[in-house]
Amino acid sequence: MRIGPVRQERPAMLDGAGKLRDLSGYVEDIAGNVLGPAGLAKLAVLDPVQLPEITGTHRIGPCVGSVGKFICIGLNYADHARETGKEPPDEPVIFAKAVSAICGPNDDVEIPRGSEKTDWEVEMGVVIGSRAKYVSEAEALDHVAGYCVINDLSERAFQSERGGQWTKGKSHDTFGPIGPWLVTKDEIDDIQALDMWLNVDGERRQTGNTRTMIFGVASLVSYLSQFMTLLPGDIISSGTPPGVGLGMKPPVYLRAGQVVTLGIEGLGTQRQKMVQA
């Protein structure tokens, strides 16, 4: 994980007792080659209790630094696709979220100026650990460093009613909270069997499980690598289960002052307060 003020985060590790441990004496950041097999092996041999403890209260930053690409997968849960009025896709729907949208898991989220349709989406993030180009599905997970929680916030009017592609409805500052931590893939028995949920002001909106993804993690990594080279630190946001505001009847959207909480089994939780930009 990474902790500290915005753009001044330092690398840290959570030990078995839930205490923060300082990694800054071993790696500069949780980014780039640190996410590769050799970098993670170097961290894996450390004894967390021998690392300096970080005491006090600290902001949790995005769990990955220096993200190069933030790639999102749309309509990757069949029941979510149908609630938006679309049929499940035959191939993954790909769009980009600006890396400037990335923020910490508990940072305030801005409602964009002029927005009336800001929406929520709990998603599992896949963090690339090593270069992947034209990889097969069988070898795809060899290129994954780990996983994290993402809230793929969206402004639906900007996304679908303003012409062009979806990116401008997905890229406002703070529309990409990631973390609280990066969970390395060895910690997860079955990435396609994780419960996920999201609440707005304590009321359940989304309940799902990664087993209902149309295209699983290995499929997505392989597919994307046919069109672009995936590099260490790139993040894939793998789609959301049903229960988004757009799909409610009538639709319901976020307002300043509301609080969104979300989480994925084994990957941690997030909490964001909505504020006006």
pLDDT tens digit sequence for 222-234: 999 999 999 999 9
Q: Specify the pLDDT at position 268.
A: 98
C-alpha 221/C-alpha 215 separation (Å) is: 10
Name the stretches of the chain with pLDDT < 50: none
Cα distances (angstroms) measured from residue 187 to each of 141, 154, 182: 14, 30, 10
Distance from the Cα of residue 99 to its chain's centroid? 12
C-alpha 101/C-alpha 220 separation (Å) is: 22
Using CB atoms within 10 Å of the CB of residue 257, give its burial: 0 to 12 exposed, 13 to 18 middle, 19+ buried: exposed
pTM here is 0.96
Q: Where are the domains of the chain?
A: 65-276
Q: Specify the pLDDT at position 62.
A: 98
Look at the block and give the residue holding tokens 């205490």. Answer: 19
Q: Specify the pLDDT at position 233.
A: 98
Q: Which fold has domain 65-276?
A: Fumarylacetoacetate hydrolase; domain 2 (3.90.850)
Q: Specify the pLDDT at position 31.
A: 98
Measured in degrees and rounded to the nearest 5, phi and psi for residue 60 equal: -90, 125
Residues written for the chain: 277
DSSP E strands: which ranges in the chain?
2-3, 10-14, 20-22, 53-54, 70-74, 93-96, 102-103, 109-111, 118-119, 122-128, 144-151, 154-155, 176-177, 183-184, 195-200, 203-209, 235-237, 259-264, 268-276
C-alpha 136/C-alpha 166 separation (Å) is: 28
State pLDDT tens for residues 251-265: 999 999 999 999 999
